[in-house]
Amino acid sequence: MTDAFIYDAVRSPRGKGRPDGALHELTSVALSAKILDAIRLRNGLEGHAVEDVIWGNVTQVGEQGGCLARSAVLASGLDQSIPGLAINRFCASGMEAVNLAANQVKGGAGQAYIAGGVEMMGRVAMGSDGAAIAVDPGLAMKTYFVPQGISADIIATEYGFTREMADALAVESQERAAAAWADNRFANSVVPILDQNGLTILDRDEYMRPGTDMATLAALRPAFKDMGESMPGFDKIALMKYPHLERINHIHHAGNSSGIVDGAAAVLIGNAEFGAAHGLKPRARIRATAKIGTDPTIMLTGPVPVTEKILRDAGMAIGDIDLFEVNEAFASVVLRFQQAFDVDPALVNVNGGSIALGHPLGATGAIIIGTLLDELERSGKSVGLATLCIASGMGAATIIERM
């Protein structure tokens, strides 16, 4: 089996996912095309340079419906001979696109792929696809469905995380993100988004709140308390599933949960022959990929078992990993990961995460792989692991090794 290498990784800045957000006037196809063009131009890709474009996206309705990947190829400057594949593994869609591409390369099904994803959360509302896991009564009742915010609060209750612990992690995410931008650490990956006249629409992550402190967060109301305790009363469903819990401790709010944003990201993956043919030097080797299913009610614990699986499959131990990117869907997700593996927090999300920067669902998995690669290069470290929790109870992970 051949090696799969990362040759490049780019992303858009993350724009506020609402009508006054800088990227709001761009469609999902338009933003995707700009990112595809960036990776095409940066690497001199002409003709049928890659086997396929694999593009993750979660809410696949409206402008994000159909085969968005193919639409993005046709809207970009990529050759029309390159097809497109749209995939959905909820929040890990962008990572799954990368992992699928890497395993296609490893298996000999083409020399190179562009993989990544997009989510325009300000234009296509989360949940507007009417997902069966949430709206089909038979399935929802069978799985004891609760919204993700309730799941995050269940994790906090089950594993003993307080609101103060969650808020401290959120403050640190904001401080790290601000420091990373001040130090220009995202410069190699972030592509400024320009309008048709060449004027800059957005060149910096827009969601950050660098002045956030513990007092600011303490003033925020728990976001999921009412839906848990009152209408529609999801806490009762949770307690039916987990009767050993006396009550659900609602610790999450807008300040310690991931931000709703617009964004896109792409990763160029290929074998050694592809790099030689195009005069490109590989930046990292994809050592291992993994995915797993988990309890669909608590839902967001996937990073722990999928990390156990990927390390086992790769014959590695947690101590072999130099840096971690654990998506900050909610503070309790990262707290649980650190608790489970006794990982030094200084090695996790060193440049901030989705609490500070936002979580454009279908793009985030590709974004954190690129962020991990950049930080490995900046710090001179060797091996990194990226992982995400996933709606309905799944986890995904990728291990990369800097070249």
Q: Which pLDDT value is given to residue 222?
A: 97
Secondary element (H or E) of residue 167: helix 163-182
In the set 250, 252, 253, 359, the catalytic residue is 359
- 231 confidence band (pLDDT: 50, 70, 90): confident
Residues in the chain: 403
Mean pLDDT score, 187-191: 97
Phi, psi (5° rounding) for residue 93?
A: -60, -45
Question: What is the C-alpha to C-alpha distance for residues 239 and 217, in angstroms, rounded to an integer?
Answer: 27
User: Over the stretch 364-393, which tens digit does the pLDDT of each residue have?
Assistant: 999 999 999 999 999 999 999 999 999 999
Q: Which pLDDT value is given to residue 255?
A: 98
Query: Beta strands 15-16 and 112-120: pairing type?
Result: unpaired
Answer whether 208's CB lies under 8 Å from 170's CB.
no
**What 8-state DSSP symbol labels residue 154?**
H
Nearest to 112 by CA among 3, 252, 193, 254: 3
Structure tokens at 348: 């996790």
What share of the chain in percent tops pLDDT 70? 100
Q: Which pLDDT value is given to residue 305?
A: 98
- Please say if 67 is a catalytic residue: no
Mean pLDDT score, 203-220: 97
Q: Which pLDDT value is given to residue 48?
A: 97
Mean pLDDT score, 320-349: 98
Instruction: Tell me: cis bond preceding 232? Omega within 30 of 0 counts.
Output: yes
Question: What is the C-alpha to C-alpha distance for residues 343 and 401, in angstroms, rounded to an integer?
Answer: 19
- Please say if 359 is a catalytic residue: yes
Q: Which pLDDT value is given to residue 147?
A: 96
Q: Which pLDDT value is given to residue 58?
A: 97
Nearest to 122 by CA among 327, 266, 265, 259: 259
- Please say if 91 is a catalytic residue: yes
User: Over the stretch 164-186, which tens digit does the pLDDT of each residue have?
Assistant: 999 999 999 999 999 999 999 99
pTM over 0.75: yes
Answer whether 168's CB lies under 8 Å from 214's CB.
yes
User: Over the stretch 54-80, which tens digit does the pLDDT of each residue have?
Assistant: 999 999 999 999 999 999 999 999 999
Nearest to 330 by CA among 183, 147, 187: 147
- Least confident range of 47-56, 101-110, 132-141, 186-195: 132-141
Three-state SS at 3: coil
Q: Which pLDDT value is given to residue 340?
A: 98
DSSP string, 205-271: -S---TT--HHHHHTSPPTTHHHHHSSS-HHHHHHHH-TT-SS------TTSB---EEEEEEEEEE-
Question: What is the C-alpha to C-alpha distance for residues 114 and 105, in angstroms, rounded to an integer?
Answer: 11
In the set 250, 252, 253, 389, the catalytic residue is 389
Q: Which pLDDT value is given to residue 1?
A: 81
Mean pLDDT score, 67-94: 98
Structure tokens at 138: 């038979």
In the set 91, 250, 252, 253, the catalytic residue is 91
Phi/psi class of residue 78: alpha, beta or left (left: φ > 0; alpha: ψ in -120 to 50)? beta
Nearest to 369 by CA among 387, 352, 382: 387
Mean pLDDT score, 281-289: 98
Q: Which pLDDT value is given to residue 64?
A: 95
Question: What is the C-alpha to C-alpha distance for residues 109 and 198, in angstroms, rounded to an integer?
Answer: 38
